[in-house]
Amino acid sequence: MPSVHFEHVSKRFGATTVVEDFNLDVAEGELLVLVGGSGSGKTTILRMLAGLEEVTEGRIRIDDRDVTALAPRDRDVAMVFQDYGLYPHMTVRENLSLGLRLRKVARTEIERRVTWAADMLQLEPLLDRKPKQLSGGQQQRVAMGRAMVREPLVFLFDEPLSNLDAGLRAQMRIEIGGLQRRLKTTTVYVTHDQVEAMTLGDRIVVLADGRIQQVGRPIDLYRAPVNRFVAGFVGTPPMNFVEGRITGENGGAQFNADGMRFDMLPGRMPTTMPSGPVTLGIRPEDMEVDPQSDGPRNGSVAGRVVLVERLGGTSHVHFDAGPNRMLASVTNERLPAVGDAIDVRINGERAHLFVDDQRVSSAS
Amino acid sequence: MRTLRRIGLYTGLAIAALTFIYPFLWMASATFKPLSEVGTLALFPTHATLDNYKTMWARAPFGRALINSLLVATTITIAVLVFGSITAYAMARLRFKGRPALNAATMGVLLVPGQLTLIPLYTLIVQLGWIDTYAALIIPYLFNATAILMMRQFFLQIPQSLIDSARMDGMGELRILFTIFWPLSKPVLSIVAIFTFMGSWNEVLWPLLVVREQHLMTLPQLLTVFSLGGGAGSIGVSLASAMVLVVPVVIAYAFLQRNFIESMAGSGVKG
């Protein structure tokens, strides 16, 4: 399986820059996820790799072959689209085989590959139906089958699950992951859903405004986000951010905000003490809620509960600490009631400090 | 009460339908009536006869005119569909320099009434030496702005992912148009086909200007010359020749009716 390389790739539509100096190497057999909000340029990057969008500047290589100027059909990549892109007037079988017929693949070989894909995706009973007669999940499978039968060098997925309901989405996510591991085809997968990214990706690329924010394994992005954007984007529910300042007192560093004081652990501090405004980042799962407040203690903040969401296993406790609305994710049986004064203990080992939106905590 | 209202409704609709269909049925039956009966309003001739058709056929080359009309209308219809859809596809789905200008120009053509271009066009045909040729009848009609805009509007609704899929599957643009867009655009293609065919079929003024040779005349042209020139001699014969003009359009409509109505009801691409 080949590797994919983006070298200084930019894309402009008129005066608007959509992707700026994008550099990335996708390893052989890797499942790489591009994730970002709308307008982040993730789909444009995928479409440039597919050949559906021209590259304004830079180069795209698949292994050593420069594909920048090649037509989509000459790149040997296959793509699964968000709305599947199945031909409505053709049967499933015709949809699967069309790409091969156009490439003049022998009839017996087409038959073999269609049977293989249909078998793998449980599509045999559906082969003679039209897309309209299939459910969303089945259409999704046909779209994947169409990519598979091509036996391409690279698979591209453009938000393939966003048209499915939640249950089906989780199931198809598992199927796609399993399929990719079995076929070991180099894959670039675009999504706006960070849960999809975290669960599927060997590595994740977080994009904002056409620029890479961070590239890394899912757990690295979660534990050591390089900036506030990544910290806020990765993880559900999102990280809490509190604006404040660092002061040095009693020989240690202390984070001070309106209604909140918090001793920073030495390992979570940068080597030079930040003098201006800083942001403290705490994930909801790195807080413990004590339903009874016995006054502020070290490493804890006092809060007042404004909302409790019971999700079954875990619950989300929304509380106000001074002017800051925060969210703690707890697994306690004992939950506070709305309006209760609570004591929230912050896991100092997991606190992140940001200066100018860049993470400055030294350890992860 | 509901049944009563329904009966009232259907009676009203039946009367309306009758007022539309009666003149046509009367005309159809009149062609089979002998001269003495033509003046009556009865729908069924008491002494049915084919004399009107025989007279008509004997007096002017209607067979030849029928072939001319079929040739001209079919060629124009095919050309409008093929060239028009190619243009519409480019305007709807391709990005190129001058596309807005092309859109504006096509729209602009719609604003110019045909009567205004009649004389310049005639002069052009004379200059080209195309008077009394099929070229004069066919070539000015090969492109049609209305058809292009109708198809463009329809093509805009087809999902981009179908084009993308087709390109990834290895299709070129023409193949995408004819193997993906055409099958999905049957409603608009049928309506364009019917309108173009009928428009060309019924055209009298233009053929009258550019064709004088009887063997090149189209059916409505020959019919006009024949009836106005007094060649018909009787109203029965005139009506018989009008019948020959109408029947092919009715047949074409019957074939494309399903798509035609679908298109009029404004259906789009689903799935």
Interface touch A84/B164, C-beta < 8 Å: no
Question: What pLDDT does residue A111 have?
Answer: 95
Return residue ranges of chain A for CATH 2.40.50.100.
240-359
pLDDT along chain A (364 residues), means of 10: 93 93 95 93 95 95 94 93 93 95 95 94 93 92 93 94 87 89 94 92 95 95 94 92 83 80 78 84 91 67 90 91 91 85 87 90 57
Q: List pLDDT tens digits, range B94-116.
A: 989 999 999 999 999 989 888 89
Residue B2 forms part of a structural domain: no
Q: Among all chains, which residue has been given the structure tokens 């790739």?
A: A9
Residue B56 forms part of a structural domain: yes
The torsion of the CA quartet A346, A350, A353, A357, rounded to 10 degrees, works out to: -110
Residue B15 forms part of a structural domain: no
Question: What pLDDT does residue B270 have?
Answer: 42
Ordered DSSP codes for A104-149? T--HHHHHHHHHHHHHHTT-GGGTTS-GGGS-HHHHHHHHHHHHHH
Chain B closest-CA separation from residue A132 CA (Å): 5
Identify all chain B residues contacting A85, using CB atoms and an 8 Å cutoff.
159, 161-162, 164-165
What CATH class has A240-359? mainly beta
A15 — contact with chain B (CB < 8 Å)? Answer: no
Which among A79, A97, A138, A146 is the top mutation candidate for probing chain B, defined by the most B β-carbons within 10 Å of its own β-carbon? A79
Q: Which residues are A248's β-sheet partners?
A: A253
Residue B50 or residue B232, greater confidence: B50
Q: What percent of chain B has pLDDT over 70?
A: 94
Residue B248 or residue B98, greater confidence: B98
In CATH, what number is assigned to the domain containing residue B242?
1.10.3720.10
Question: CA A21 to CA A6: how far, in whole Å?
Answer: 9
| Global confidence as pTM | 0.83
Q: Is the pLDDT of residue B268 over 50?
A: no
Interface touch B168/A83, C-beta < 8 Å: no
Closest-CA residue of B relative to A100 is: B169
A98 — contact with chain B (CB < 8 Å)? Answer: yes
Ordered DSSP codes for chain B? -HHHHHHHHHHHHHHHHHHHHHHHHHHHHHTTS-TTTTTS--SS-SS---HHHHHHHHHS-HHHHHHHHHHHHHHHHHHHHHHHHHHHHHHHH---TTHHHHHHHHHHHHHS-HHHHHHHHHHHHHHHT-TTSHHHHHGGGS--HHHHHHHHHHHTTS-HHHHHHHHHHT--HHHIIIIIIHHHTHHHHHHHHHHHHHHHHH--HHHHHH---GGG--HHHHHHHHHHTT-S-SHHHHHHHHHHHHHHHHHHHHHHHHHHHHHHTT-----
B99 — contact with chain A (CB < 8 Å)? Answer: no
Which among A44, A49, A81, A92 is the top mutation candidate for probing chain B, defined by the most B β-carbons within 10 Å of its own β-carbon? A81
Q: Which residues of A162-186 are buried (b: 16+ CB within 10 A; e: fewer)?
A: ebbeeeebeebbebbbebbeeeebb
Pick from A87, A99, A146: CB nearest B162: A87
Task: Classify residue A266 by its DSSP letter.
Answer: G
For residues B257-262, give the mean pLDDT. Answer: 68
Closest-CA residue of B relative to A75 is: B168
Residues A242, A324 contacting (CB under 8 angstroms): yes
Question: What pLDDT does residue B260 have?
Answer: 65
Q: Which residues are A282's β-sheet partners?
A: A240
Chain A closest-CA separation from residue B76 CA (Å): 27
Identify all chain B residues contacting A86, using CB atoms and an 8 Å cutoff.
165, 271
| Structural domain count, chain B | 1
A132 — contact with chain B (CB < 8 Å)? Answer: yes
Closest-CA residue of B relative to A146 is: B169
Element (H, E) at A297: none
Interface touch B271/A103, C-beta < 8 Å: no
Nearest to B196 by CA among B114, B80, B94, B85: B80
Residue B4 forms part of a structural domain: no
Least confident range from A9-13, B188-192, B242-246: namely B242-246
B271 — contact with chain A (CB < 8 Å)? Answer: yes
Interface touch A52/B159, C-beta < 8 Å: no
Q: How many CB atoms lie within 10 A of CB B100?
A: 9
ipTM summary value:
0.82
* Sequence-distant (≥ 6) Cβ neighbours of residue B11 within 8 angstroms: none
Question: CA A319 to CA A333: how far, in whole Å?
Answer: 18
Print the domain residue range for B92: 23-32+45-264
What CATH class has A4-233? alpha beta
pLDDT band (50, 70, 90) for residue B266: very low
A265 — contact with chain B (CB < 8 Å)? Answer: no
Q: Is the pLDDT of residue B38 over 90?
A: no
Residues B231, B225 contacting (CB under 8 angstroms): yes
Pick from B164, B169, B269: CB nearest A88: B269
Residues A335, A310 contacting (CB under 8 angstroms): yes
Identify all chain B residues contacting A87, using CB atoms and an 8 Å cutoff.
162, 165-166, 180
**Residue B15 burial class via C-beta count within 10 angstroms: exposed 0-12, middle 13-18, buried 19 and up:** exposed
Q: Is the pLDDT of residue B172 over 80?
A: yes
Question: What pLDDT does residue B267 have?
Answer: 41
Interface touch B168/A50, C-beta < 8 Å: yes
Return residue ranges of chain A for CATH 3.40.50.300.
4-233
